[in-house]
């Protein structure tokens, strides 16, 4: 692992990451023989850079927030031959970087990457989109759409949950059919979350016991009756105790098909680009990642 491409989003972290670009490069050059920095200017640039460089490098680093990570992983995951992947966190929640134990300080994260410790991790695929953390419909999508950029900068990872708590009682109920290889559940719900990683919005509440190497999704079907206690647990940061909560249906699966009436907008790691129905599958140990 000698040749590195860093896809750098200078707008991340209220542009604080941009001030560290040269220092990050110097740290990486102590461990890698070739380090090239590529700045993104607009949405889609990260994907284009991956297409240009992936055959010529051993490691691609996404330096930015969850949006940058999502764009890069969606370009890497479909490739037949994939370089290793790493993250220098520079955004608000930095969910998957927390999952792989990266220090939430960019310069320290660059030092961690220089150690070159890796493991193979699962990736979720939802039709033609890929995700590392979660796939969601219902309240989680409605909430993330209402979180403005100022809220993210001012209150960071709690923005999602403050907005969610404000939305209690306003959730839209929909009919859902969730079909796994083992069972089929048909019910009403206000939210369905399919988890690969354990962090959403910067805290481990939904799937505290998740495993990104077990080849399984953790799934929660949340009914309207459970919504108050559900978010009380999130607010207290104790994690969801599904075995003790009426109105929450937990499942595990390698592959799941989800149909809804009416159709629901899908949130994949904070990006909303498609709607139900959807077929979601685990791609086991699909990406080699540099970890903390």
Domain boundary among 84, 116, 148: 116
**Model confidence band, residue 16 (pLDDT cutoffs 50, 70, 90):** confident
Domain assignment of residue 121, yes or no: no
What CA dihedral angle connects 223, 229, 230 and 231, to 10 degrees?
130
Contact 138, 171 (CB under 8 A): yes
Residue 292 belongs to some domain of the structure: no
**Cβ contacts of 66 within 8 Å, gap of 6 or more:** 91, 92, 93, 94, 95, 96, 133, 269, 270
Looking at the fold, whether 156 and 261 belong to one and the same domain comes out as yes
Pair (85, 176) in one structural domain: no
Of the three residues 116, 150, 165, the one that is the final residue of a domain is: 116
Tens-digit pLDDT profile for residues 113-169? 999 999 999 999 999 999 999 999 998 887 666 665 555 554 455 555 556 656 656
Residue 245 has pLDDT above 80, yes or no: no
* Angle made by CA atoms 266, 137, 231, in degrees to the nearest 5: 140
CA dihedral 169, 202, 10, 145 (to 10 degrees): -10
Same domain, 228 and 99: no
Q: Please indicate whether residue 158 or residue 275 has the higher confidence score (pLDDT).
A: 275
Active site residues: 271
Q: Domain containing 220: what range?
A: 130-282
Q: Are residues 158 and 194 in the same domain?
A: yes
Q: Which of 85, 64, 50, 68 is nearest to 18 (CA)?
A: 64
Q: Is residue 288 part of a domain?
A: no
Domain-located, residue 124 = no
Co-location of 141 and 104 in the same domain: no
Give me the pLDDT at residue 228, please: 72
| Residue 44 belongs to a domain | yes
pLDDT of residue 155: 45
In this predicted structure, the answer to whether residue 60 has a pLDDT above a threshold of 60 is yes
Q: Is the pLDDT of residue 200 over 90?
A: no
**Contact predicate 86/35, CB 8 Å:** no
Does residue 105 sit in the same domain as residue 158? no
CA 49-52-56 angle, 5° bins:
115
267 plus 200 within the same structural domain: yes
Quote the pLDDT of residue 152.
53
Q: How many independent structural domains does the chain possess?
A: 2
What pTM was computed for the model?
0.89
* In a domain? residue 42: yes
CATH of the domain at 10: 3.40.50.10330
pLDDT at position 256, please? 98
Q: 43 and 98 share a domain?
A: yes
Residue 31's alpha-carbon distances to 106, 123, 129, in angstroms, are: 16, 27, 33
Domain stops at, among 53, 85, 116: 116
């Amino acid at each position: 692992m000698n040749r590195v491409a860093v896809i750098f989003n200078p707008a991340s972290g209220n542009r604080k990451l941009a001030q560290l670009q040269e220092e990050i490069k110097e740290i990486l050059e102590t461990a890698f023989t070739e380090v090239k920095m590529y700045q993104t200017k607009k949405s889609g640039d990260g994907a284009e850079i991956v297409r240009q460089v992936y055959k010529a490098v051993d490691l691609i680093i996404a330096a930015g927030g969850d949006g940058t990570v999502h764009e890069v992983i969606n370009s890497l995951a479909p490739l037949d031959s994939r370089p290793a992947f790493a993250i220098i966190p520079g955004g608000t929640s930095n969910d998957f970087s927390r999952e792989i134990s990266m220090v939430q300080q960019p310069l320290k994260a660059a030092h961690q990457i220089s150690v070159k410790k890796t493991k193979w991790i699962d990736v979720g695929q939802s039709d033609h989109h890929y995700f590392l953390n979660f796939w969601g419909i219902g309240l989680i999508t409605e909430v993330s759409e209402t979180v403005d950029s100022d809220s993210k900068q001012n209150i960071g990872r709690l923005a999602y949950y403050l907005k969610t708590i404000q939305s209690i009682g306003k959730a839209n109920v929909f009919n859902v059919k969730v079909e796994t290889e083992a069972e089929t559940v048909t019910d009403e719900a206000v939210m369905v979350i399919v988890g690969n990683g354990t962090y959403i919005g910067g805290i481990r509440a939904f799937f505290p016991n998740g495993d990104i190497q077990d080849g399984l999704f953790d799934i929660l079907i949340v009914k309207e009756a459970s919504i108050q206690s559900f978010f009380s647990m999130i607010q207290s940061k104790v994690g969801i105790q599904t075995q003790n909560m009426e109105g929450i249906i937990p499942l595990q699966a390698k592959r799941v098909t989800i149909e809804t009436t009416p159709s629901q907008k899908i949130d994949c790691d904070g990006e909303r680009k498609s709607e139900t129905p959807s077929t979601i599958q685990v791609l086991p140990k699909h990406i080699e990642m540099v970890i903390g």
